[in-house]
Amino acid sequence: MTPDPGTAEVDTPHGPARITRHDAAGPRAVLLLGHGAGGGIAAPDLVAATAAATASGVSVVLVEQPYRVAGRRAPAPAGQLDTAWLAVVEHVRDGLPLLFGGRSSGARVACRTAGAGGAVGVLCLAFPVAPPRTPEKHRLAELAAPTVPVLVVQGGRDPFGVPDPAPGREVVVLRGDHGLKSDRPGLVAAVTTWLARF
């Protein structure tokens, strides 16, 4: 990981987003990672995934949504998140294959936009399958939307649930909960193994 990553603002239809680049040496692909609904890009699982990717020859672009750049904690509506994400995608597109990913809400955005953004794979960290105690309000259709390979890394005690594997979808269950803080080596290993396919 570069010691001084490049940070820049990107104009989107919903205000500026912020990107933080971690460039791999001679990268073969670029992984865009989004944050959770109320969190930021310093979340432990995003930090671990960034380290795994750059060590694997995949550059990382951490994406902060406009509502976070503006200092708000409450997330914007899904449509605004997706539109802002796709604006960032066009900004960073440079001919290398693009992988989309993120934690929790960011994973949902990555799944919803994978087709429109031309992603070759989707990395979901702590995908929120359904709100606690309301399993009927599940988001499995979003998780099933990508037509490219998907890796889900989930804590076995995640109160939002653990999705099942499916064709094109690999699920790695680690010890821990929604924060994915308990098994950094396991997370790094899962991401490294999956990225080797691209």
Give the 3-state secondary structure of 101-112: EEECHHHHHHHH
pLDDT in tens, 94-148: 999 999 999 999 999 999 999 999 999 999 999 999 999 888 999 999 999 999 9
> Which residues make Cβ contacts (< 8 Å) with residue 138, sequence separation at least 6?
129, 130, 161
Model pLDDT for residues 165-197, shown as the tens digit of each residue: 999 999 999 999 999 999 999 999 999 999 999
Domain range 6-195, CATH architecture: 3-Layer(aba) Sandwich (3.40)
pLDDT at 45: 97
**What is the chain's length?**
198
Lowest mean pLDDT among 3-17, 23-37, 163-177: 3-17
Percentage of the chain exceeding pLDDT 70: 97
Task: Give me the pLDDT at residue 38, please.
Answer: 87
The average confidence (pLDDT) of the chain is: 95
Q: What is the pLDDT of residue 5?
A: 60
| Alpha carbons 175 and 28: distance in angstroms, whole number | 31
Q: Where are the domains of the chain?
A: 6-195
pLDDT at 3 over 90: no
Task: Identify the residue with better confidence: 135 or 30.
Answer: 30
Mean pLDDT along residues 6-28: 95
Residue range 21-50: average pLDDT?
96
Cα-Cα-Cα-Cα dihedral sign, residues 50, 123, 65, 127: negative
Q: What pLDDT is recorded for position 6?
A: 84
> Considering Cα of 68, then 99, then 20, then 56, what sign does the dihedral take?
positive
What integer pLDDT is reported at residue 133 of this predicted model?
86
| All residues at 6 or more sequence positions from 16 whose CB lies less than 8 Å from its CB, including other chains | 9, 10, 66, 69
pTM: predicted TM-score of the whole model, two decimal places: 0.95
Distance CA 161, CA 32 (A): 24
Judged against a pLDDT cut of 70, whether residue 10 lies above it is answered with yes
Q: How far apart are the first and last CA of the chain?
A: 19
